[in-house]
Chain A
Amino acid sequence: MRNNRPNLLGILGAAVLAATAAAHPARAAVSVVTSTPDLAAIAREVGGDLVTVTSLAKPDQNYHKIEAKPTDVIRVARAGVFVKVGMDFDTWADAVVSAARNPKVQPGGPGYVDAGRLIRRKAVPTGSLSGASGDIHVFGNPHYWLDPGNAKVVAYQIDLALRAVDAKNAARYDANYTRFAAEVDRRMAGWKSRLAPYKGRQVVAYHDEWVYFLDRFGLGAFGYLEPKPGIPPSGAHVNRLIARMKGAGVKAVIVPSIYPRRFADLVAREAGGTVAVVPYSVGSQGTRTYFDYVDAIVAGFRKALD
């Protein structure tokens, strides 16, 4: 009797074959897959209506805690271009790219973009690294997309990849890239102007991710709620931080939208300052484009620094 039971694999195999038969032919648009929503937003600017863009990480998802999933594999398997942050930040994406077995987007392939490759890296560790250092990235601080100037470098690399996989539309990608870069420059003047009154001022942030943004706008980091990157705030550390803030007159506290607010509120209350919650990623707090995202961050810094 048992031999008459339908085989599990047989049932599943039949389902796969049926679905394959019903599969649609390949789409005309270039499929761009990115590891994060921020890169996806930049890719949309460069690709325009010639591409479909998907981010593996969702908005407001902690990029340090992403789990590579099989459904991500199929997205990358069909991608013409894959863009990752690099700098040892989104290593989870490497497992997806490897499993996808898509030669176009494997390292060295025409559609593979390690966007951190051409970035001027900051906070590159020079000494010994270990778990005692916290979550330090060996190739430097990887949060470079928070500097709009670096968004142009990312866009440039995406443009190169799109030209390589879809050469007939190279001129349109170039035009989109040029328009995006010009728009960044135009808005950069505005962002700098809005933050100019606070030049030289320091802020307290939750996580050490602002070095590129702060350098761009002439601001500084006074300290972090995390005692070391990736290590949750402790009472002793927060108390020391509050004492230091009081002594130095630092009042601005910046918290990206995914992090808990309770420590930030405590610090701000004790130091007589203000907490600004800013979007963690494009897609957070109603932002839709990279420009919305930077606008909201600039507004948050102004609120905290006022």
Chain B
Amino acid sequence: MRQYPSLLACAAAAAALFGGLSTVPVRAGAQAAPPPPPAPPEIREPAAPPAPGTPTPGTPAPPPPPEAGTETPGTPPSPETTPPAGGRQLQLPDISLIGNLVGHVGNDRGDTGRDRFELEEAEIGIQGFVYPGIRADAFIVFAENEAALEEGFLTVENIGFGLPVGATVGKRFVPFGRTNQLHPHSYPYVVNPFVLTNLVSGGESLVGQGGYLSVLLPTPFFAQIDAGFWSGAEAHAHGEEHEEGEEEEHETPAGAGFEDRFLTLRLWTAFPALGGDLEVGGSVARGRGLEYEMGEEPEDGNVPVAAQRGRQVGLLTVRPTIQLSALDLTYRRSGRGASRLLLRGEYVRHRQKDAGFQRTVDGYYLLADQRLDAFTSLGLRYDWSAFPFAPDEHESAVSLIGTRQLNESTYARVQLIHGGRPGKRDFSEAHLQIVFGIGPHTHRLE
């Protein structure tokens, strides 16, 4: 309670700051009353229902619409407070289904996922407003005969007080990097960039339970800061199969490797440039990592832990603090019709630090994607990524990607990959993906 007045004072000061830097709204009733408007032509009926811009009492009435009162609308106008799509006129949420069929063939015999074509996941989206300015989104994913809530969150589009601040709470793909919040059906490729899988997500996306504030800065260009606090990181871990063939499980983290709580901070900026739009983003995520054992089992079981020529000898248990840093660049230029050039790169650095132990690895990808027309896209991608929990290894590849779009939510895509990775220095794969969508399915600004 003691903090309440100071919070209000802070909010008021911030509101004054942001209000002073942004365009100040003009109150209709606060201005000198303008002269009555001239009568427009073609008035045959009373004016249509008040529009959102209808001035408050005290301001002269606006001119009636030219024809709206003389013709019967085909359907009732949708209420201004409700979004425009789907079953919302019946106060039903938007319900949609996105299916993601994938499969690949390749020459890596150690790849147990090849030579299959399966429904990898089916995503049901349930979306709608629960209150003016508060939106709920839930995405339930069915994969491998299990159902899971992939995301479920509330978004307050504007917290008010004149502040350009939104808030999101719930389970969410966290705002880290340029593409972590995208769903697979929004990717311009089949296979997630290696660096994002190896250093960030361990799978599809880095997920957290918690929330973040999203602040649109009052800058002359687009600049948004997303600051989040998360728990319940869905840390991925791989069991190691020992050479002897024993199924002894040593849990090794995958992806970022956060144990539970972590923080995220992202700055996203965009500028008009070179006839298109240039986006520059920087992200940080930091938290305690999973405890794991590293190094090699000493042969006599009694060798002290020591570094020899940069290699760990003996088993060392570490529980590091993990910090992810990322820089992303996107250039997008739209051309005639539906053509669009997209150039994108993301660089991620993964740093672990514990008493007497520090390790930093990194990776990146570069993507060029040209949409030729409304239905066809071609892309080229280069990947390079180390592994944070196997630092002497890395993988890299070149991909050629082709997409044939049937409509906004249904497409077929092929990604041909050639590269090298641990255990297979020269691999080639052909991935096929078919995504289909039914019903209204939307995501926020991507």
Contacts and interface: CB of A to CB of B under 8 A. Distances in A.
Contacts of B358: 2
A120 B74 contact: yes
Interface stretch (A9-17, A242-250, A263-271): A9-17
Interface residue tally of chain A, by bracket?
35 or more
A167 B133 contact: no
Interface in B61-86: 62-68, 71-75, 77-78, 80-85
Nearest to A75: B222
A61 B75 contact: no
Interface string B362-375: 00000000010111
Interface string B297-335: 000000000000000000000000000011100001011
Closest 6 CB pairs of A and B: A121-B74, A161-B53, A70-B270, A174-B37, A164-B53, A65-B338
Contacts of A140: 74-75
Given A64-B374, A156-B66, A165 B53 contact: yes
Given A121-B73, A163-B55, A139 B84 contact: yes
Contacts of A112: 52-53, 80
Interface string A55-66: 000101110111
Contacts of B35: 171
B40 A178 contact: yes
Nearest to B270: A70
A299 interface: no
A149 interface: yes
Interface in A128-171: 130-131, 134-135, 138-140, 149-150, 152-153, 156-157, 159-171
Interface of A: 2, 7-9, 11-13, 15-16, 19-20, 22-24, 26-27, 31, 58, 60-62, 64-71, 73-74, 77-78, 80-81, 86-88, 91, 94-96, 98-104, 106-114, 117-122, 124, 130-131, 134-135, 138-140, 149-150, 152-153, 156-157, 159-171, 174-175, 177-178, 181-182, 185, 230, 232, 258-260
Contact of B337 (A62, A74, A86, A121): A62
B260 interface: no
B267 A9 contact: yes
Interface stretch (B16-24, B288-296, B393-401): B16-24
B215 to A, nearest CB: 9
Contact of B59 (A91, A104, A167): A167
B25 A91 contact: no
Interface residues of B, number: 102
B25 A104 contact: yes
Given A167-B27, A177-B63, 12 more contacts: A19-B220, A20-B218, A22-B220, A71-B222, A71-B270, A73-B222, A108-B80, A113-B52, A118-B48, A139-B78, A168-B34, A185-B42
Contacts of B29: 167
B62 A159 contact: yes
Contacts of B68: 118-120, 153, 156
B272 interface: yes
B22 A23 contact: no
B11 to A, nearest CB: 15
B73 A120 contact: yes
A19 B221 CA distance: 8
Contacts of A152: 65-67
Contact of A153 (B66, B72, B340): B66
A167 B26 contact: yes
21 contacts: A9-B267, A9-B284, A23-B220, A61-B336, A65-B340, A70-B269, A74-B222, A86-B78, A86-B84, A101-B165, A112-B53, A113-B52, A118-B48, A120-B74, A121-B73, A139-B75, A140-B75, A153-B66, A160-B62, A163-B28, A164-B28
Given A23-B218, A62-B338, A118 B65 contact: yes
A212 to B, nearest CB: 11
A114 B81 CA distance: 11
Nearest to A172: B34
B336 A258 contact: yes
Nearest to A232: B375
A177 B40 contact: yes
A163 B75 CA distance: 27
B38 interface: yes
A77 B222 CA distance: 9
B164 interface: yes
B192 interface: no
B218 A94 contact: no
Given A110-B28, A164-B53, A170-B37, A13 B267 contact: yes
Contacts of A99: 216, 224, 444-445
B66 A181 contact: yes
Nearest to B218: A20
Interface string B210-246: 0000001111111110000000000000000000000
